[in-house]
Structure 1
Amino acid sequence: MVDIDVPIWAARLRVLRRARLWSRRELGRRLDDAADETSRDQLPAPEALSSLIHLWETGERRPDESHAELLCRTFGLGEGDLFVGDAAGTTLWHYLTGIPLQSGMFPAEEEERTGRAIEAPQRADEETVRYFRTVLDAYSRTDLRPADVINVLQPVFAGIEEFHRDAGPSVRPALLGLAAENAELISRMYHEAGDPDGALAWSDEAIRDAREAADAPLEAYTLAQRGGLSDTAGAPGRLVDLAVAARERAELPPRVDALSRHHEAQGHALAGDVDMCHRRLEESAQSLEEPGDDTPYRFDSSAEARHALCAGCLIDLGQAGGAIEILEQEPPKAQPTYAIAYAMARMAHAYADAHEGERWAETARQALALARQSGASRALRELARVQVPHQDVRHRRILL
């Protein structure tokens, strides 16, 4: 077994915290929530508590009895599982690779099997593929902050890359496909986090892996998703080309076909082509009505996401009234997700274009708060695009 420079219990604290996407400050807040009135009074101030957690995770100090109890409550583990345990090897490989460890997600034997495969990638099998697919599924939720998803999935991608280079021919295509799906999700998270260069670089990786896997539907999906990485008027023809290329690669499942046509409609809207934009939006709606879609790919096809895409096209065409009508069919719920924040930013944009100052101001305030809470930089960019009418100058400070 490879030695590490911290005790196993300290490494376990770190990998469990990171798997939950908690900063040290967030863990400190949760310890405070888990404490009763007496033990809460004995906790240090937030900054000091974050420093104390750092000392625990580096093994420089072991939690005393009261802090150990709070940690067990917070992680939902018994003291033996958190501080003793018999899975040192599992903790070790998660610590060394950065691949997240979710307690209870897998039986001990599956963790051990994956750890052995990490040491010797030629041991990878269908169970290894299933393990990493389950991990990827766990971090595909829209309620997670994009930057946090990036941090946790990049080590997962690196692990899959190691496998598919050395794995046997029976599982290599599946690992390549999984790498492509992982890279595509990371690409979208960079897009949501406001890093267009990072988004495009990871999209390139996703397309390359899908092609190497010789998986035409997956390649088409990655191309369709790439079309959604550009939401400015810089290159509308490029959006159209990507959407068309996606449909030329393979016969797409209905949801992916709808996504492709949505993004093509966006390109036509940015180019000012009203007829083609509306035609593609109609075709997209027809695709979504088709039954039997069992596509395994991960993307947000919620009503909020679809409405935001349609409304965005109408906003770009200067048809704010139509955008408002779409968005008000099912107003975005005030939940802290990047998708909801973006949908609300789109609605604020439509209200501003329609010169509805009060409604714009209220919706923009909500969108701004949700964007900051959810880490949705794309929603912030959308708000920054809004041209506030001169008569509503008193509301402009919302975007400052």
Structure 2
Amino acid sequence: MITIDIPNWAARMRAWRRGRLWSRHELGGRLADTADETARDRLPSQEKLSEMVRSWEAGEQRPDELYAELLCRAFDMNEAELFSGEAAGTTLWHHLTGIPLLAGVFSAEEEERAGRAIENPQRVDDRTVAYLQTVLRAYSRPDLRPARTAGVLSPLFAAIDGLHRDAGSGVRQALLMLSAEDAEQISRMHYEAGDLNEALAWSDRALLAAHQAGDERLMAYTLARRAGLQDARSNPEQVIDLAVAAREHVLSPHPLDAMARCHEAQGHAMAGAEDMCHRRLEESAEESGQGPEESPENDTLKVSDHLAELHTTLAAGCLIQLHHPADAIELLERDLPGAPSTYATAYTMARLAHAYADAHEAERSAGVARQALTLSRLTGARRALEELRLVQGGLHRLPHPR
């Protein structure tokens, strides 16, 4: 029988916290936020609260009545759910695998079935794949902090990777495809968090899994995304080659082709080939305007939703690279009003600051840079900070977001 060396309630608390992408420090802050005025006056400092969370999760001590109530408020659960909760087996397998535990998403039966499959890959079936895919989709939201998202999806990848090696042939391809999608998302999150080496390493895993799965669209997707990573290496030939290779895997008109053409345009801009850059951008715009992408409801490779945003960002990058900052400003200012507070928006704002700087509008550049800096810290958009460092000399001493 599998056991763990801490109480089930402690493992459950840690699983609930990690599933919400909260740090211990943040959970401590939430405890203070949920307390009424009288209770708040009795609470210790933020640092002490963070240390208390650590000790609870280690099982060193159990929260007293006050803190148990505050924890229930923070997690929006009653005491029985938080401290007794579901069957111990669910806590055990989430604790041992690191796969995030999602509140209110799965029934007890679905949790038990997934846990049994994790323990014995011969039990893996379509329902197991659907469970894992739901977890992946839950962390695909653009409002989540990139570094934390990468951290919570890495154990999911390890579990999927282990399962596809031993699972039956009927679900092996589905698991390989899910493995590639997960690795690609982790790669993207590392990229947004400013860690290019990790992004490239996870992109390698995504490409390998896509190749093993033998799915053409998945290969096109992973290759196009890899082209976007190579942009940061300042290697235009490789960007172009990867984008062209991605297009070769698209068997019919599809938003993935438009996505690949966007990245190819960026490669041409890096090489100074202005005519080819504009041609590919125009082709991408035509491709993306052909109508919505038709794909199954559970298909995570839906690029239509973010294609317009990608096109704007890359087109503006091309214009900056080709020394047309005024055109880049017009493009970026058109889409920024009303944009959500995400790491992608932070990067767009940083690009706008870059364009203003190139257009010798120092005051506007500084104003947008300050807004971008605030949003970068809020969302963990480390790549946006790197962009700001290129154009705002006064930002070189700014700390990275945690």
Matched, 1:150 2:150: yes
Residue 254 (structure 1) shift? 3.0
- Distance of 2:65 and 2:203 partners within structure 1: 48
User: Secondary structure of the residue that 1:329 maps to in structure 2?
Assistant: helix
CA RMSD of aligned residues (A): 1.6
Matched, 1:284 2:284: yes
User: Secondary structure of the residue that 1:272 maps to in structure 2?
Assistant: coil
Specify the alignment match of 2:271 in structure 1: 271
- Distance of 1:119 and 1:344 partners within structure 2: 46
- Superposed CA deviations along residues 220-247 of structure 1, whole A, max 9, x for unmatched, are 1100111111334721011110010011
Residue 87 (structure 1) shift? 1.4
Specify the alignment match of 2:321 in structure 1: 316
Residue 273 (structure 1) shift? 0.3
User: Secondary structure of the residue that 2:291 maps to in structure 1?
Assistant: coil
Residue 157 (structure 1) shift? 0.2
Residue 330 (structure 1) shift? 2.2
Q: Which blocks of at least 5 consecutive residues in structure 1 are unaligned?
A: 389-395
Percent identity of paired positions between Structure 1 and Structure 2? 59
Letter in structure 2 aligned against 1:374: T
Where in structure 2 are the equivalents of 1:317-356 lying within 5 Å? Answer: 317-331=322-336, 333=338, 335-356=340-361
Aligned residues: 392
Specify the alignment match of 2:123 in structure 1: 123
- Superposed CA deviations along residues 291-346 of structure 1, whole A, max 9, x for unmatched, are 13135315571644432211001000011111111112222546441100110011
Residue 197 (structure 1) shift? 1.2
Specify the alignment match of 1:242 in structure 2: 242
Specify the alignment match of 1:362 in structure 2: 367
For the structure 1 residues 86 and 264, does the alpha-carbon distance in structure 2 shift closer, same or farther, using more than 3 Å as the test? Answer: closer
Matched, 1:192 2:192: yes
- Distance of 2:233 and 2:30 partners within structure 1: 44
Is 1:253–1:293's contact at 8 Å kept on the other side of the alignment?
no
Letter in structure 1 aligned against 2:184: E
Q: Which blocks of at least 5 consecutive residues in structure 2 are unaligned?
A: 398-402
- Distance of 1:250 and 1:335 partners within structure 2: 31
Matched, 1:377 2:374: no
For the structure 1 residues 294 and 42, does the alpha-carbon distance in structure 2 shift closer, same or farther, using more than 3 Å as the test? Answer: farther
Letter in structure 2 aligned against 1:268: H
- Superposed CA deviations along residues 40-88 of structure 1, whole A, max 9, x for unmatched, are 1121111111111111111111111111111111111111111123411
Letter in structure 2 aligned against 1:201: A
Q: TM-score, normalised by structure 2?
A: 0.94
Q: Which runs of 4+ in 1 moved over 4 A?
A: 332-335
Q: TM-score, normalised by structure 1?
A: 0.94
- Distance of 2:282 and 2:57 partners within structure 1: 55
Letter in structure 2 aligned against 1:212: Q
- Distance of 2:307 and 2:248 partners within structure 1: 25
Residue 384 (structure 1) shift? 2.2
Letter in structure 1 aligned against 2:356: Y
- Distance of 2:195 and 2:60 partners within structure 1: 37
- Superposed CA deviations along residues 136-181 of structure 1, whole A, max 9, x for unmatched, are 0000111111110111000000010111000001000000000000
Specify the alignment match of 2:94 in structure 1: 94
Matched, 1:40 2:40: yes
Is 2:288–2:307's contact at 8 Å kept on the other side of the alignment?
no
Residue 102 (structure 1) shift? 0.9
Is 1:217–1:252's contact at 8 Å kept on the other side of the alignment?
no
Residue 187 (structure 1) shift? 0.7
- Distance of 1:398 and 1:101 partners within structure 2: 38
- Distance of 2:355 and 2:252 partners within structure 1: 31
